[in-house]
Amino acid sequence: MTILGIETSCDETALALLECNGELPNPRFNVLAEALHSQVNIHKEFGGVFPMMAKREHARNLIPLFKQLLQKAGFDKNDAAHTSKNHSNILKNIGMVLEREPELFKQFSEYIPTIQKPPVDVIAVTQGPGLEPALWVGINFAKALSAFWDIPMLPTNHMEGHLFSVLLNPATSPKDLRFPAVALLISGGHTELILAHDYLSYELIGETRDDAVGEAFDKVARILGLPYPGGPEISKLAQEAREKEYPKTVELPRPMLRSDKLEFSFSGLKTAVLYKTRVLGELSHKQKASIAREFEDAVTDVLVEKTRRALLAHGAKTLIVAGGVSANKHLREAFASLASSLPDIKLLVPELPLSTDNAVMIAMAAYVRLSAGEKAKSTSETQKTIAQGRMGIVPEKA
């Protein structure tokens, strides 16, 4: 089965073509091609993602990226007979789907009718959680392709994509995912502890009360005068402070570390950094590095301890750490140490390129759902069922 993945939940426009086969618990994935455009340089001046600008950039870049994707996969075959075909009626309908994306519709109309239908069995598209304006560009693009080529589509959960991104790491095997499993999903918008009883059977057992961990990294970076995105900048300085053994500049709290609940709170930690830096005044480079280290240590201590408790409380056999913040080197080392101290636990993490937002993970998550018996939907069926998810993997309670 060949799956086209589409991801536009935030500031990465991403497409991927995956060849998927094998039954659970041993699915097999072969990445035929992928294409990604990052908007980081555009949003830097705002210190964060500006949703309507992200929406505009997705609409502008989807068709050029789709061309690249098909070329890489060898699927960019011209339709020599396209001039004799009447696409006017179907393009009229697609025009209604893309009525809020005139630039995307123009590019779609000029390119898609000129090529042969690629050998794609299912279109998987991120339906949420994410920035609503950005999400709908990808969703409507998927609907348009689905309608034009009569390919079924499967709306896919972004956080579920992060969870299953670990299945493509060559250092491990999909068979290493044993249940029950605890997944720590950490990104710019989410900090969640998920208990997975089986494939697609989840329970939310802990989450942040306020700021997500990635959001806290970005805010602390801003306080320290570091560029966006802040997470890598904080980590770089923190690593320097460890290697050069800079003296500790501040002591920071470990929020909710002693609480029995599997909840997180990072807003107060960010505020503690703000107040302490105000007292210090203008910071030297060494002081910034020292504060970055203390902040990263505080976050790591809390995440590791809460996760340890979750693993023991639920008799987990697997620990999954995924999402954009899982790319943090210090965090990876800390969770590797945790897993080695619990010999019955297997640690699964995604490869670094699959830690951040990407379309490969969306196609993978879709295949897991299809393998578990879920059916892909026609465009008309999808129109009725797509809804914005805001709480991550576990659906919002009624």
User: Which domains, from first to last, does the chain contain?
Assistant: 2-162+356-385 (3.30.420.40), 170-349 (3.30.420.40)
pLDDT digits (tens, 9 = 90+) for 66-103: 999 999 999 988 875 554 456 778 898 899 989 999 99
pLDDT digits (tens, 9 = 90+) for 246-277: 999 999 999 999 999 999 999 999 999 999 99
Nearest to 191 by CA among 324, 342, 31, 14: 324
DSSP state of 117: P
The pLDDT score that the predictor gives to residue 301 is: 98
**pLDDT above 70 covers what percent of the chain?**
93
Q: What is the overall mean pLDDT for the chain?
A: 91
Lowest mean pLDDT, pick from 183-187, 230-234, 302-306, 378-382? 378-382
Flag whether pLDDT at 166 surpasses 70: yes
Contact 255, 302 (CB under 8 A): yes
Local confidence band at 387 (pLDDT 50, 70, 90 cut-offs)? very low
**pLDDT above 90 covers what percent of the chain?**
80
Nearest to 186 by CA among 156, 229, 217: 217
Q: Is the pTM of this model over 0.75?
A: yes
Give the residue-averaged pLDDT of 209-235.
94
Flag whether pLDDT at 392 surpasses 80: no
Lowest mean pLDDT, pick from 34-43, 123-132, 307-316, 373-382? 373-382
Please count the other Cβ atoms lying within 10 Å of the Cβ belonging to residue 244.
Answer: 10
Lowest mean pLDDT, pick from 48-57, 128-137, 219-228, 264-273? 48-57
The pLDDT score that the predictor gives to residue 195 is: 98
Local confidence band at 398 (pLDDT 50, 70, 90 cut-offs)? very low
The pLDDT score that the predictor gives to residue 274 is: 97
Local confidence band at 395 (pLDDT 50, 70, 90 cut-offs)? very low
69-77's contacts with Cβ under 8 Å and 24+ in sequence apart are 69/15, 69/16, 69/17, 69/33, 69/34, 69/35, 70/33, 70/115, 70/118, 72/32, 72/33, 72/34, 72/35, 73/17, 73/32, 73/33, 73/118, 75/17, 75/118, 75/119, 76/115, 77/115, 77/116
For residues 298 and 398, the model is more confident at: 298
Flag whether pLDDT at 10 surpasses 70: yes
Local confidence band at 384 (pLDDT 50, 70, 90 cut-offs)? low
pLDDT digits (tens, 9 = 90+) for 150-163: 999 999 999 999 99
pLDDT digits (tens, 9 = 90+) for 30-70: 999 999 999 887 777 777 788 899 999 999 999 999 999 99
Q: Residue with structure tokens 């929406």?
A: 55
For residues 57 and 392, the model is more confident at: 57
Flag whether pLDDT at 222 surpasses 50: yes
The pLDDT score that the predictor gives to residue 354 is: 96
